[in-house]
């Protein structure tokens, strides 16, 4: 009797492991919303309980273990590998990352703003491409995320290129000119709360922080989606917009980046 119970328990555990490790992740690869629910709601909470660490802390450990100090590219590679093979996370990722790189290189900004630091992945991607003397301000609302991001940015050796500010974007934007002496931004990367995209670019406009030729690049415009923002930048005479189709980070579900040039 006991052997039967143990056998059933072993088989059940094996089935659950296969479902958790392979079958469900494969099944949600092509659906953005299913992927978000599975990875962001279920898996993250399970791993938080099992490890006693948050997802950002687990990503930091992966960087500290596998990335070379002072080498931004190895930090990016370590995070991408971890998120592809160990645990999904909502970084811009290795499919959309080269698009971000290309736009940053094209603009070659002397002043850049990132809204939504999270763990610093996209911060590292942007900062490593900046010319000497350029300024990148990145804004993160969550103090725990900011604490991890600072360590990842420092591991990449880019702390002198980056100013990380904790707090809400709506509170910070009106204070930027006074606090940082920046008159306008050449490049703005939006990757924070999706319902803040539109209010924040309007706030940037109102505060005079965009000039003719300023480039906005918005992530996750399809999944989770930013319909009001897209409607605005695609229909406003103040912007010329272009959509770059790609995939939701570390999946095969459609997502993309919207590049919008401010026309004044």
Please enumerate, by residue number, every residue annotated as part of a binding site: 92, 122, 140, 191, 194, 219-220, 249
Report the SS3 class of residue 244.
strand
**Binding-site annotation: residue ranges for S-adenosyl-L-methionine:** 92, 122, 140, 191
- 105 beta partners: none
CB burial string 86-113: b at 16+ within 10 A, e below: ebbbbbbbbbbbebbbebbeebebebbb
User: Does 66 qualify as catalytic in the annotation?
Assistant: no
Task: Kindly report the length of the chain.
Answer: 264
User: Does 161 qualify as catalytic in the annotation?
Assistant: no
Catalytic option among 186, 200, 219, 258: 219
Residue 70 falls in which region: left (phi positive, over 0), alpha (psi -120 to 50) or beta? left
**Binding-site annotation: residue ranges for substrate:** 194, 220, 249
User: Does 220 qualify as catalytic in the annotation?
Assistant: yes
Task: Indicate the burial class of 192 (C-beta count within 10 angstroms; 0-12, 13-18, 19 or more).
Answer: buried
User: Does 219 qualify as catalytic in the annotation?
Assistant: yes
Catalytic option among 114, 200, 220, 258: 220
Q: What does the alpha-carbon distance between residue 258 and residue 123 come to, in Å, rounded to a whole number? A: 18
Q: Name which of 113, 259, 109, 231 is nearest 175 in CA terms.
A: 113
Report the SS3 class of residue 207.
coil
Catalytic option among 96, 135, 161, 194: 194
Residue 73 half-sphere exposure, CB side, CA atoms within 13 Å?
3
Catalytic option among 186, 249, 255, 258: 249
User: Does 249 qualify as catalytic in the annotation?
Assistant: yes
Q: Among all residues, which ones are annotated catalytic?
A: 191, 194, 219-220, 249
């Amino acid at each position: 009797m006991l052997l039967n119970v143990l056998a059933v328990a072993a088989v059940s555990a094996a089935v659950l492991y296969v479902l958790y490790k392979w079958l469900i992740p494969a099944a949600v690869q092509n659906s953005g919303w299913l992927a978000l629910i599975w990875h962001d709601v279920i898996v993250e909470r399970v791993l938080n309980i099992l490890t006693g660490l948050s997802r950002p802390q687990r990503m930091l450990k992966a960087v500290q273990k596998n990335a070379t100090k002072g080498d931004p590219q190895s930090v990016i590679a370590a995070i991408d590998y971890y998120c592809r093979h160990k645990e999904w996370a909502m970084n811009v990722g290795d499919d959309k990352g080269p698009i971000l790189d290309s736009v940053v290189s094209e603009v070659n900004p002397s002043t850049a703003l990132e809204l939504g630091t999270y763990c610093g992945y996209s911060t590292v991607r942007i900062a490593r491409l900046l010319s000497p003397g350029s300024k990148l301000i990145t804004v993160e609302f969550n103090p725990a995320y900011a604490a991890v991001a600072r360590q990842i940015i420092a591991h990449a050796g880019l702390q002198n290129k980056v100013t990380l500010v904790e707090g809400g974007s709506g509170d910070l934007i009106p204070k930027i000119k006074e606090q940082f002496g920046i008159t306008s931004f050449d490049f703005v990367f939006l990757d924070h709360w999706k319902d803040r995209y539109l209010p924040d670019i309007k706030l940037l406009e109102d505060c005079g922080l965009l000039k003719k030729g300023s480039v906005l690049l918005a992530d996750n415009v399809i999944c989770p989606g930013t319909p009001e923002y897209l409607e605005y930048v695609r229909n406003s005479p103040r912007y010329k917009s272009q959509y770059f189709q790609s995939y939701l980070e570390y999946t095969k579900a459609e997502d993309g980046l919207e590049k919008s040039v401010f026309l004044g």
